[in-house]
């Protein structure tokens, strides 16, 4: 028996295709609202501790409260916001212990992929791709750490991980970078290490080109640990939110 989805009418008078289109549109709207709220958090336009109301966000984005509610529940599950009983949702923040855990996991994943990369063999195309990203990073070096510079640094490390062909590993690393960007999002955060980071990348590229696995591992590990200590030092200058239970 063949069914014409355009003409197959449900008990409420809705066709299968019409219902599917409506559900697809709703899912797209939910994803869009989620992405927009998350972007506001990651770029520090919504700061730690700020209260988030369904109505306020709905009016700001020009949508109903339903997709906002769905987005906040998803962000809650992912740790970008937290909820207090009878008080609602607030922009979240993570502890120093969380930060250390993120960096520890990042180091383990990146060193693992580096080992796999040397097993596979580094090609000139690999090096060309990484050099292109690092040169873009060099154009963004300023006294203050910018959101764009953080993203390009992330892109360099994700591209390095991507050379192994392990998409799951890249996805895991991307999630960690999002959390670390969340921690580093203080607007105008002073960071004079931009040139040193660029040079670390150059040193790593040199070790990759020469097949020096041990040296590459050392450079990468020190690079990640240095970033961890700088972030922790920066965060100690800011008092934690008093909203946390």
% pLDDT > 70, the chain: 80
- Look at residue 11 and tell me if it is in a domain: no
More confident residue, 161 or 79: 161
Q: Are strands 81-84 and 51-52 parallel, antiparallel or unpaired?
A: unpaired
Q: Are residues 218 and 103 in the same domain?
A: yes
Q: Which of 105-109, 152-156, 234-238 has the lowest mean pLDDT?
A: 234-238
Residue 149 near residue 65, CB atoms below 8 Å: no
Per-residue pLDDT at 223 exceeds 90:
yes
Distance CA 26, CA 37 (A): 17
Q: Are residues 180 and 228 in the same domain?
A: yes
Q: Are residues 115 and 212 in the same domain?
A: yes
* HSE-up of residue 104 (Cα within 13 Å, Cβ side): 6
Q: Which of 58-67, 72-81, 91-100 has the lowest mean pLDDT?
A: 91-100
CA distances to 19, 170, 214 from 2, rounded to whole Å, are: 19, 43, 63
Q: Are residues 84 and 105 in the same domain?
A: no
Position 238 scores a pLDDT of 53
- The last residue of a domain, from among 91, 125, 155: 91
* HSE-up of residue 48 (Cα within 13 Å, Cβ side): 19
Q: Are residues 147 and 226 in the same domain?
A: yes
Which helix (DSSP H) or strand (DSSP E) does residue 41 occupy?
Answer: helix 16-42
State how many domains the chain has. 2
Residue 217 near residue 111, CB atoms below 8 Å: yes
Q: Are residues 106 and 148 in the same domain?
A: yes
Distance CA 30, CA 70 (A): 7
Q: Are residues 79 and 181 in the same domain?
A: no
Q: Which residues pair with 190 in a beta bridge?
A: 144
* HSE-up of residue 214 (Cα within 13 Å, Cβ side): 0
Query: Is pTM, for the whole model, over 0.75?
Result: no
Joined tokens for residue 135 = 């040169």
- Look at residue 10 and tell me if it is in a domain: no
- Look at residue 240 and tell me if it is in a domain: no
- Look at residue 5 and tell me if it is in a domain: no
* HSE-up of residue 9 (Cα within 13 Å, Cβ side): 3
Per-residue pLDDT at 24 exceeds 80:
no
Domain CATH number, residue 53: 1.10.10.10
Domain CATH number, residue 130: 1.20.120.530
Q: Are residues 71 and 145 in the same domain?
A: no
Q: Are residues 103 and 223 in the same domain?
A: yes
Can you give the residue range of the structural domain that contains 211?
A: 96-235
């Amino acid at each position: 028996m063949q069914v014409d989805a355009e003409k197959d009418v449900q008990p409420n008078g809705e066709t299968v295709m019409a219902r599917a289109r409506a559900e697809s549109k709703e899912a797209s709207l939910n994803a869009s609202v989620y992405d927009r709220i998350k972007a506001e958090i990651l770029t520090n336009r919504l700061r730690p501790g700020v209260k988030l109301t369904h109505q306020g966000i709905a009016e700001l984005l020009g949508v109903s409260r339903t997709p906002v509610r769905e987005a906040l529940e998803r962000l809650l599950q992912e740790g970008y916001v937290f909820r207090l009983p009878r008080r609602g949702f607030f922009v979240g923040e993570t502890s120093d212990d969380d930060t250390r855990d993120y960096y520890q996991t990042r180091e383990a994943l990146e060193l693992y992929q580096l080992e796999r990369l040397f097993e596979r063999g580094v090609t000139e195309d690999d090096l060309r791709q990484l050099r292109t990203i690092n040169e873009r990073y060099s154009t963004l070096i300023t006294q203050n750490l910018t959101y764009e510079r953080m993203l390009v640094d992330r892109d360099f490390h994700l591209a390095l991980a991507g050379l192994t062909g392990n998409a799951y590993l890249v996805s895991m690393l991307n999630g960690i970078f999002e959390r670390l960007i969340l921690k580093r999002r203080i607007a105008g955060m002073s960071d004079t290490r931009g040139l040193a980071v660029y040079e670390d990348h150059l040193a790593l590229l040199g070790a990759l080109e020469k097949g020096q696995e041990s040296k590459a591992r050392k450079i990468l590990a020190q690079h990640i640990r240095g970033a961890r200590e700088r972030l922790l030092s920066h965060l100690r200058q800011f008092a934690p939110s008093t909203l946390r239970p």
